[in-house]
Amino acid sequence: MGKIAQCNLDVLFGDEGVRCILLRQITLKTQRVEVRFQIHKRIDLVRVIDESLDIMKMGAEDDQQQTFVVVTSRRFREVTGPLDRLNGQANYIKINDKVGRLRGYICLLISLFRYTRSESPGAIVAINGGLVTFICLIVSVVQDTPLIVRIAGNRWETRKERFRAHASNLEYQQALSTVFVFLLERLAERRATGLIVVSKSLIPTAIHYTKFDASKVGVVHIPLDENSEHISISDSGVDEDEYSSEILTVTNLDYEGKYRGVRDGLNEISKYLHDNQDATYTVVGGGRYVDNLMRDVGDLDGDVRSRINIVGNVDDVAHYYSKSDVFVYVSYRDAYPNVIIEAQYFGLPIISVEKFGMVEQIEHGESGMLVKENRLDNIHQYLRQIEQDVELRNRLSKQARNKVAEDNSIHSISNEFVQAIRKIIS
């Protein structure tokens, strides 16, 4: 009896129309076993919303429309939301999370190759690295199609950090896997036409590692996804009158740089907790360094320690945003943190370190407070100011929501995509 292996790829084509299903089948026969790979393509023809943008004609010398295809394995909504608003044909391919990894990659290679051969897109945009980027490189070379690599953070240093962590823990298989993926990504970067990064602060780093000219590096920030489970509560503003000194940090403790940031911030927050007996501090986020953070908390004074809650990974992050009064974020490994966007959406006054994309997200004294890396003691001072100054607190809350609504709206990010791709392939 034949064995059937099935994998799904979602492909969305931006144009006005209806939804349909296409089925392509490849049959491999041996003497005893017939293997069928069924590649289901769900094609959504999305109604064009914003006719002021025309990505189809970017860089073209005539009126013939150009298309481009975006390929990703995760964070799908970061690109589909903005690109659905473009007045032109934007194509997306995403590996279905429910299929096996190997089958997913095989399906991706076949689907992307067939699509580029039949449609001749103006560019392939690979999102977030890994083997997906390498597959895009293969198709790009074979089909002679420009490749643009979108990078969410400083992945060069992140790969090195992960390698050192795996090696120090004698996790040799994971260490070798990290090196392998890193080399594939580096190869793709060398053959790419250009890069898209998520913050201006990443441009010098990207140029340093890839040797691209600045004209081939574009910036597209991360959009606010109001449908995310992180921000699904409709009542997302802070109470202007009530203030209970509930401090929140949301982070990813898989990264040493993020852990060290929380640890250093903890030293200053604990001083505030010592002075304010009603204040509490919650850290949301898990990872390999969560035990280190627990030990740091364990070294604190008993009363202060009892008001610090390390909750790890949770399903309902929105609950913690909605019940908190102020958001503190110190990190030494970042680009353009999603958690700042989410905290701004909830109208939380934010205190963050003056580094990376945070300086683009926060205007000091207006939409948040920034502290220099060598002056983290200002965290204590700003926590006290936000607690005591109602006018300051309300202004920071209001301006935080205004800034994220303007800078990270779907419309704004759509424009950034247009400008970045025009810049790179022109």
Q: What is the pLDDT of residue 335?
A: 94
**Who wins on pLDDT, 328 or 55?**
328
**Who wins on pLDDT, 10 or 157?**
157
- Range with the lowest mean pLDDT among 16-25, 62-71, 336-345? 16-25
Structure tokens at 276: 């304010």
Beta carbons of 182 and 298 less than 8 angstroms apart = no
| 222, 304, 338, 411 from 405: Cα distances, Å | 12, 36, 14, 10
Q: What is the pLDDT of residue 226?
A: 63
pLDDT tens-place string over residues 133-166: 999 999 999 999 999 999 988 888 888 888 888 8
Q: What is the pLDDT of residue 152?
A: 86
Q: In terms of CATH architecture, what is 229-407?
A: 3-Layer(aba) Sandwich (3.40)
Q: What is the pLDDT of residue 119?
A: 86
Structure tokens at 330: 């110190």
- Average pLDDT of 202-215? 94
Spatial separation of the C-alpha atoms in residues 363 and 257, rounded to whole Å: 23
Q: What is the pLDDT of residue 46?
A: 27
**Who wins on pLDDT, 357 or 58?**
357
pLDDT tens-place string over residues 84-105: 666 555 677 877 666 677 888 8
Q: What is the pLDDT of residue 238?
A: 56
- Range with the lowest mean pLDDT among 11-20, 58-67, 240-249? 11-20
Contacting residues for 380 by C-beta, under 8 A, at least 6 apart:
268, 269, 271, 272
Whether the pLDDT of residue 68 is over 60: the answer is yes
- Average pLDDT of 1-10? 36
Mean per-residue pLDDT of the chain: 81
Q: What is the pLDDT of residue 234?
A: 45
Whether the pLDDT of residue 48 is over 50: the answer is no
Beta carbons of 48 and 83 less than 8 angstroms apart = no
Q: How many residues make up the chain in this entry?
A: 426
Could you give the dihedral angle defined by the CA atoms of residues 333, 348, 416 and 138, in that order, rounded to the nearest 10 degrees? 40
The pLDDT-based confidence of 75 (bands split at 50, 70, 90) is: low
Q: What is the pLDDT of residue 100?
A: 75
- Average pLDDT of 323-336? 96
Q: Out of 3.40.50, 1.25.10, 3.30.1490, 2.60.120, select the CATH number for domain 3-223+410-425.
A: 3.40.50
pLDDT tens-place string over residues 258-277: 999 999 999 999 999 999 99
Other CB atoms within 10 A of residue 60 CB: 13
pLDDT tens-place string over residues 305-320: 999 999 999 999 999 9
- Average pLDDT of 116-126? 90
The β-bridge relationship of strands 90-95 and 3-13 is antiparallel
The β-bridge relationship of strands 280-284 and 246-250 is parallel
- Average pLDDT of 362-387? 96
| 93, 180, 224, 331 from 79: Cα distances, Å | 11, 27, 11, 25
The β-bridge relationship of strands 194-197 and 217-219 is parallel
- CATH 3.40.50.2000 residue ranges for the chain: 229-407
Q: What is the pLDDT of residue 13?
A: 34
- Average pLDDT of 173-199? 92
Beta carbons of 322 and 292 less than 8 angstroms apart = no
SS3 state of residue 206: helix
- Average pLDDT of 102-109? 85
Other CB atoms within 10 A of residue 129 CB: 23
Q: What is the pLDDT of residue 155?
A: 87
- Average pLDDT of 169-188? 90
